[in-house]
Amino acid sequence: MQRQPFKKSHKKRNLIITLVIVVALVIVGFTVLGQQSNDSKTTTSSSSTSSSKKKKTTKKASTSSTESSTSEVSSAESSSTVTVTQAPASASSEVAAAISSAKQDATQAPVDSSASSSVSSSAASSSVATTTVGKWTLSAYNNLALGSTSYNTIRQTYGDPTYLTADSQYAYATWQSQSGAKVVIIFTPSGSENNVQLIASSKSQTGLQ
């Protein structure tokens, strides 16, 4: 018995079914991809919001810390600076020798500090506490003339510094007490090859009263 050829109507039906299946698969695929994209966007958005909050918190903390440090410096320290003409480059060896000699004066040990009170002679007597760093008093510090006073003069008047460091341009001398009060003088090498001196060009203090 001979087989009947496959009918064209069957071919059309199968083609339609195949197309429907393909379209369904495409729709399902797009739906899944769309959900994954939305989930990814939601996660990214949440992460971005969290990161933004962390950055704002960190910025606030940093600002608070900076303001606190500035306030402490403003309330505890006084300082002033003047411009001093530096020694010429041709005097570099003399400058190095002057700084090297000054470094040897540093004691590396805190100087004595004292606290005293002065009582007024009025009927209602009162006392005013004063804090010094070695021979440094607040009055002596305030009266120190920058731009003209040499390291040797200051050393002879107020004693050897606790610390003395230097870089290529300046020498930094610190007189510090055990209580933490201190006077810092920055010296600029000035003068000529035959007469190099370390001249006080900046001063600051903490704790003098």
Judge whether 171 lies within some domain.
Answer: yes
Domain that holds residue 184: 79-115+132-206
Average pLDDT, the chain: 77
Q: Which two tokens stand for residue 7?
A: 């009918």
Q: Which of 116, 159, 110, 117 is nearest to 136 (CA)?
A: 159
CA dist 110 and 161 (Å) reads: 9
Judge whether 144 lies within some domain.
Answer: yes
Split at pLDDT 50, 70, 90, the class of 44 is low
Split at pLDDT 50, 70, 90, the class of 49 is low
Q: Does the pLDDT at position 178 exceed 60?
A: yes
Judge whether 125 lies within some domain.
Answer: no
pLDDT at position 62 is 40
Q: Is the pTM of this model over 0.85?
A: no
Judge whether 182 lies within some domain.
Answer: yes
CA dist 122 and 116 (Å) reads: 19
Q: Per-residue pLDDT averaged across 6-26, rounded?
A: 74
Judge whether 126 lies within some domain.
Answer: no
User: Could you give the number of structural domains in the chain?
Assistant: 1
Q: Does the pLDDT at position 124 exceed 70?
A: no
Judge whether 54 lies within some domain.
Answer: no
Judge whether 136 lies within some domain.
Answer: yes
* Range 138-145, long-range pairs (CB < 8 A, 24+ positions): 138/205, 138/208, 138/209, 141/183, 141/203, 141/205, 141/208, 144/185, 144/200, 144/203, 145/200
Judge whether 151 lies within some domain.
Answer: yes
